[in-house]
A and B are shown apart, each in its own frame.
Chain A
Amino acid sequence: MTAHIECADLVRIFSAEGVEVQALQGLTLSVERGELTAIVGASGSGKSTLLAILSGLDVPTAGRASVAGHDLLAMGTRERTLYRRRTVGFVWQQTARNLLPYLTAAENIAMTLSVARTPARTREPRITELLGLLGIEGMRDRLPAQMSGGQQQRVAIAVALANEPEVLFADEPTGELDEGNSQVVFDAMRAVNEQLGVTVLIVTHDQDVSAQVRRTVQIRDGRTSTEVLRSTRTDEFGVEQHHAQEYAVLDRVGRMQLPQEYLTRLNMRDRVRLELEADHVQVHPTTEDEQ
C-alpha cells in the first residue's frame, strides 16, 4: 500500500533575472494515512514551498508527489480544482489568508461549502457540527475582527474541514499566537486527527508543538535531514515514559545528512571514513594525514 502523502526527489527552482533559487533540492517524504506529522526547519529551508506544492497551489520543477492518490505533477486544471475542493484543506499563519474579514465565522464556512456546491439546506447543520467540534459555537455570527487569534485559527480549521478533506495542511498555524492559544489550536488539530482520522501535516517553528507530535521531520536546505519519532511506554512501575529517538533520513540512492551538531563537534568536513560492521556503519572523521 502506498503512503497517503508521498514525495520523492522533489525539486522546485524559482528563477528571476537570471538568479536561480533552489527551494527544494530532492526532498523525499512519506506520510501514512491518519498520521499527525510536524515539519520543522529554519527559515528558508523550503517548508512553505513544500506545503504550497502539496496543497496544489504550486507545481514542482521535478520529482514525484502524490496526495491521496492524486499525482500532483500530472493533475489538470479541473482535477486540481476538485483536489482543492474535496481532498485537502489548509490553515495558514495569517488570519487574512484564512478568513474573509467581511464574513462571519458561519459565512466563511458557508463560502467554502458553497464553493463545493453543497446544497444550502445542509449547510446549517454542517456549520453547527464543525463549530461544535472545535468548541467555538459562540463565534458563529462574529466577524474575524471580533475574535481572538486562537478563535480565528479555530474558525480557520473549521473552514478547512468544511468539505470533509482527507488531508489537512497547516502552515505555522500557531505562529502568531501566545502559548495558551497555541495549545488550544494544536489540541483542536489533534482532536481532528484522532476523531475524524484526517491526515494532518503541520509546518511549524514552535518547539512546543513539535514536541507533542509522534513524528517530526526536519528539513534542511531543501531536503529532509532527520526525523524524530516519539513513543510512550509504560514501565514496570506503571509510569508513562516518553521516548524520543532522532533518525537520519536515507534517500533512495543512499544519501543522508549528518546533524550539524555532530559535524561541528567531531570537526568533520570534506571527507569521512566509513566502516561497515556486522550490524551498523561507523562514520569516522579523517585524520590530518588523511586530509
Chain B
Amino acid sequence: MTRRSRLSTAGLLLRHLRSGVGASLLVALLIAASVLAVALAPRALSRLGTAELRHELGQESPALLDLTGIGRIGIAAGLPASASLDDVVGETDRRIAEIRERLPRPLRTHLGPVNWVATTTKADGILPVTLPLKLSMKLGADLRWRDRVRFTDGEPPAPWTGDESAPTVPGEAPAAPPSIPAAISADAAKQLHLKVGDLIGYSPAPVLVTGIYEPVNPDDAYWVHQVNLTRVTFETEQGELTTAHIIVYVDPLSMRGLTTDFQTGQLSAYLEVDPTGMSYSEAAALQEQVHQMQASQIELPMFGSLNFRSGLPDAIDRVVARVTSASALLALSVSGLLGVLLAVFALGVQSVIARRRPALALAAARGAGAVVLRGAMVLEGLLVSLPGAALAVVVAAVLLPGDPGPVGWILPAAIAVAPAALFGVMTSPRQLREPRSDLQVRSRSRVRWIIEVAVAGLAVLSLILLGRRGLVASSAAVGVDPLLAATPLLLAAAVCAGVLRLYPAPLRLLQRVFRRRSGPAGLLGAARAIRDPALGFAASLALVVGISVVVFTTVMSSTVRIGLVQGSVDTVGADARITAQRLDETVLAQVRRVEGVTAAVAVPMVTGVEVGIDSDTTQVLAVLTDTAAMHEIRPDLPDLSARDADGAVPVLVSTDWADHITGARLSVGGKPLLERGTIGQNALPGATRHFVYLDSSFASDLGIPVDGAERAFLGLSPDTDPAEVASEVDDVVTAAQPPQYRGLVDVVTARQLLDDIRSSPTVAAIEAALLIAAAASLALTMLTVVLASVAAAAARNRLVGVLRILGMSPRQLRAIQAWELGPVAITAVVAGTALGLVLPLIVTSALDLRPFVGGDTQPPAAIEPLWVLGAVGAFALVVLVAGVIAGILGRRFAPAGTLKMGEG
C-alpha cells in the first residue's frame, strides 16, 4: 500500500492542497453562492428599474407622456388659387418631419414619427337645429387625415375655393364667399344632430357638412391629442349655456384661402413615446434630452414655430424615486444578509486555516518564511475561489443578461479575491502554535478593543447623521444609499460586540447558582460557556444579525403591506370615491342601494368662505359633510354634528392653516367656530392646503351656500368585489347625469388602486426580496451553527471522553452540549430581536417610503406581535434543528480516538 512520492515543490504543494479538500470545497461553494448573489443583485436591480419604467410609463396617458408641441403654422399670404398643397405647407411639413431625425439618441429611438394638425382659432358656430347649447368650432387640417378615418356617410370635403383675403371692390357689397366644405365626426353628428348637407353658420364662411367619419383606429394616440376631432366635449360655467367644442376637418388645401385663420390658430404636433423598449440605464439621458428639447423653440418656415412639452421627465422622476426607495429597502435587507454571510465566510476561512495550521507550523519550524507560508495560503485561496466565482459570474450573465454597471463587476471580483486575501492576512507565523483560549475569560487584545470601540463609534455616528439628515429619498446618484445600508450592519456589529462583552456576567451568576446544586452539567456548561465558548465572535455575529434580519424583514413586510393599504386609502380618501359633475342626495340614495356599498357621503367643497380670525378675515375652502356618516367611513375624522356647550360650531382646521392661526378666535358670518382639532392637509383628496372641515347641518346657519357636491366617499363591505361595485356605482351615477356630463363620472376604489400598485414590478420585487432575505438569513444561520459546532467537535469530544470516563450519563453529556449553543443562542435571540425591532424604526424615520407605498403619509413601522413572534419562533426552531444536526455530525468523531490522539 504505497504510492508514488512526488518530490518537486509543485507536486508537494498539490498533495498539500488535496488534503482536507472538504473544508475548502465548502468555502468554494460559499464563495460561488455569494458571488452569484452579488453578481445577480445589480443585474436584477437594473432589470427591476427597466420593468418599473416600462410599467409606470405604460400606464401614463399619451397626452401626458408624448412629446407634444404647440405653436403656430406659417403660410405665405396671397397665394394664387393655383398654388399646390406643396406650395402652401410642403416646406413646413418637411421641417416638422425632420424634428425626430435631429433628436439625439436614445430619445429618438423611443419616439414614433411626428404627426401634426393645424387648427384655426375657435369661433362660434350656429347649428341648423336649435339646441340648448353654444357651439365653439375650429377648422382642422392634417395632410394625412384620410388614412386615419373612414366615412360612414357622405364624402371627403373638397378644397375651399374662396379666399378670405380677397380684396373687396370699393363701392360694391362684398360677394358672399362660398361655403367651406368639411367633414365631422360621427359623435359630433349624433350629439349636435348634424347630417351631410347641413350648413353651420361660421366666419369667414358657412361650413358645409360633406361627410361624416369615424376613426379607423379609435385607440390611436392621435385622437387623444386631438380629442375634439372625434368627440364633442362640453363645458359649463355657472349661469351660462353649456358650450360644445368640436373640430371639423377641411381639406388641407383649404389653408390656401384661410391663411389668416390658420396662422392665428394653433399648430399641434406630437411624437409618440414608446416606453416598451426603454431601459432604466437610459432614464437620466432621456430626461436630459427632453429637458433640452423643451428649452429650445423649433423654428418653421414663414415665422412658424413649435414649443415641445412632455410629462416624460416627471414620470421618470416618479419611477426613479420609487426604484431608489425600493433599492434602498433592498439594500437594507441585503446589508444585514451580507453581515451574516461575512460571518459565515470568516468561519469557513477560519476552519480552513485551522486545518492547515499543523502543516504550516511544521513548515515554519523547518524554516519556511512568512512569504512562503502566506504564498501557499494565498494560492490555495485563489484556487478555492476563482473557478467557482468565474462560473457564478457566467451563470449570472446567462440568467440575467445585460450590463450590470461597474458595481456588478467590482463586487463579485472583491468577494472572489477576498478569501485569498483573508488566507494571506490571517496566516501569521507567530500564531501557528495552538492557541489557548481558556486562559483568558475576556480578550485582552488591544486591537479588538480598538476595533469594537471604532465600530460602536461609527454606529453612533451613522445614527446621528441619519437623524440630522431626516427623511430623504435615497440618493439617486449612487443608487444605493451607503449610509443607510451601512447603519444596520454597524449597529449589529456594535450590539454583537457589546453582547459578547457583557454576556459572561449573567452566566457567572448562573455558575454561582449551579455551584450550590448537585448536578455537574449546569456548572460545567456555564464554566465552559464563560471560559471556552464554542461559538466565537463570527458565529455570534451571524446569530445576532441573522435573527435581526428575520425580525426586520417581518416588520418591514408588515410596514409595506399596511403602508400600501394606507397609501391607497389616503389617495382615494375612503374605500371608494366618486367624482362627477353633480352628486345630489337622490343619486347618493341610489348609490347606497348598490350591493356592497355600506355608506355614501357627499363631500361638497365651497371655495372662498370668509372666516373671521380675531378681528381679521380670510377666505378659505370649507368642506361640509355629514360628519357622523363620514366618521363611519373614516374613523380618523370625528363626528362634529353637535354644537359646543357655548353654541359654537365645532370644526377641524387643516394642519397647514392651523400653523397660521394658532390661538385665534374663528367665526363665520359672526357665528363663533370652535377649533376641535386639526386635519391632515392631504386627508381629503380635492381639498386645498387651507381649509376647514365641518358638519353640513350648520351650512345654512353660517350662511355658506352648498350647491351640490362633485365628490362623494363610499364605504364598501370587505367581502365584495370592488371592481364590480365600482362599475355598478358608475352606471348608477352616469345614468343620473345630464347627457353632456356622462363621460366625466369616475369611480375609484382603494382596493383597485392597491391592486394596481401591487402589480408594479418594484412592489412585487420588494415583497419577494424581504421574503428571500428572511429565508436566506435562516439558511445561513443554520449553516453557521452547524459549521461552528462541527469546528468545536474535536474539543467537545475530548471533554466528552474525559467525562464519560468519569461516569457521566449520556443525558448529562447532551446537557453539556446544549450549554454550548444555549446561552449564545438565547442571548442572540434577545439582542437580535431588539435590534430587528429598532431597525425598522430607524428606516422609517430615515428613508422616504412614500414614493413606494403611495399616499402622502410616511408609513410608520408596523410591529405586528404575532408575526414577530412567529419569526422569532422560526429562528429558534432553525437554531435548534442546526444544533441537533451538528450534534449528530459531531458524534462521528469517536471520543476514544480523540482522546488517544491527544492535543495533536
Contacts and interface: CB of A to CB of B under 8 A. Distances in A.
A99 B363 CA distance: 10
Contacts of B5: 104-107, 110, 140-141
B365 A90 contact: yes
B662 interface: no
A57 interface: yes
A82 interface: yes
A82 B367 contact: yes
A120 interface: yes
B367 A96 contact: no
A248 to B, nearest CB: 34
A96 B441 contact: no
Interface in A93-130: 94, 96-107, 110-112, 114-116, 120, 123-124, 127
Nearest to A127: B7
Interface in A26-68: 55, 57
B16 interface: yes
B12 A110 contact: yes
Contact of B16 (A17, A100, A143): A100
Given A110-B12, A115-B372, A96 B904 contact: yes
A146 B2 contact: yes
A107 B359 CA distance: 13
Contact of A111 (B1, B18, B361, B363): B363
Given A94-B902, A141-B2, A100 B362 contact: yes
B904 A94 contact: yes
A269 interface: no
Contact of A115 (B3, B4, B366, B441): B366
A118 to B, nearest CB: 10
Nearest to A16: B439
B364 to A, nearest CB: 8
A85 interface: yes
B362 A17 contact: no
Given A81-B367, A81-B369, A107-B15, A114 B9 contact: yes
Measured as residues with beta carbon below 8 angstroms from the partner, the interface class of chain B is: 35 or more
A205 interface: no
Interface residues of A, number: 43
Given A16-B440, A110-B5, A141-B3, A97 B12 contact: no
B12 A114 contact: yes
A103 B358 contact: no
B366 A84 contact: yes
A102 B17 CA distance: 10
Contacts of B216: none
B476 interface: no
A104 B359 CA distance: 14
Contacts of B2: 104, 140-142, 146
Nearest to A83: B367
A280 B882 CA distance: 75
A262 to B, nearest CB: 37
Contacts of B1: 142, 146
B359 A100 contact: yes
A245 B363 CA distance: 41
Nearest to B2: A141
B366 A77 contact: no
User: Would you call the interface of chain B mostly helix, strand, loop, or mixed?
Assistant: loop
Contact of B9 (A94, A120, A140, A163): A120
A78 B370 CA distance: 9
Interface string B288-328: 00000000000000000000000000000000000000000
B6 interface: yes
A232 to B, nearest CB: 36
Contacts of B19: 100-102
B368 interface: yes
Contacts of A90: 365
A86 interface: yes
Taking each of B4, B9, B367, B368, which has the highest tally of chain A beta carbons within 10 Å of its own beta carbon?
Answer: B367
Interface string A151-171: 000000001000100000000
User: Would you call the interface of chain A mostly helix, strand, loop, or mixed?
Assistant: helix
A170 to B, nearest CB: 14
B82 interface: no
Contact of B4 (A78, A83, A105, A141): A141
Taking each of A96, A123, A140, which has the highest tally of chain B beta carbons within 10 Å of its own beta carbon?
Answer: A96
Contacts of A17: 439-441
Nearest to A85: B367
Nearest to B364: A84
Nearest to B432: A57
Taking each of B2, B15, B358, which has the highest tally of chain A beta carbons within 10 Å of its own beta carbon?
Answer: B2
Given A110-B12, A114-B12, A142-B2, A55 B365 contact: yes
Nearest to A56: B365
A46 B367 CA distance: 24
A81 B370 CA distance: 9
A81 B371 CA distance: 11
Contact of A107 (B7, B367, B372, B901): B7
A104 B16 CA distance: 11
A63 to B, nearest CB: 21
B19 to A, nearest CB: 4
Contacts of A163: 366-367
Contacts of A142: 1-2
B130 interface: no
Contacts of A140: 2, 5
Interface string A133-153: 000000011110010000000
Contacts of B431: none
A81 B372 CA distance: 11
Contact of B366 (A85, A105, A107): A85
A82 B904 CA distance: 26
B370 to A, nearest CB: 7
Interface in B427-478: 433, 436, 439-441
B618 interface: no
B367 A86 contact: yes
Contact of B12 (A84, A101, A103): A103
Contacts of A116: 367
Nearest to B904: A96
Contacts of B518: none
B809 interface: no
A37 to B, nearest CB: 21
B7 A102 contact: no
Nearest to B370: A77
A159 B367 CA distance: 12
Given A82-B367, A97-B362, 6 more contacts: A57-B433, A97-B904, A100-B362, A107-B5, A110-B5, A143-B3
Interface of B: 1-9, 12, 15-16, 18-19, 358-359, 361-370, 372, 433, 436, 439-441, 901-902, 904
28 contacts: A16-B436, A77-B370, A81-B370, A82-B367, A85-B368, A94-B902, A96-B358, A97-B361, A97-B904, A98-B362, A100-B16, A100-B358, A102-B16, A103-B16, A106-B7, A107-B7, A107-B15, A110-B5, A110-B12, A112-B366, A115-B366, A115-B367, A115-B372, A116-B367, A140-B2, A141-B2, A159-B366, A163-B366
10 residue pairs, one from A and one from B, having the closest CB atoms: A85-B367, A141-B2, A106-B5, A102-B19, A84-B367, A110-B7, A16-B439, A104-B5, A81-B369, A115-B368
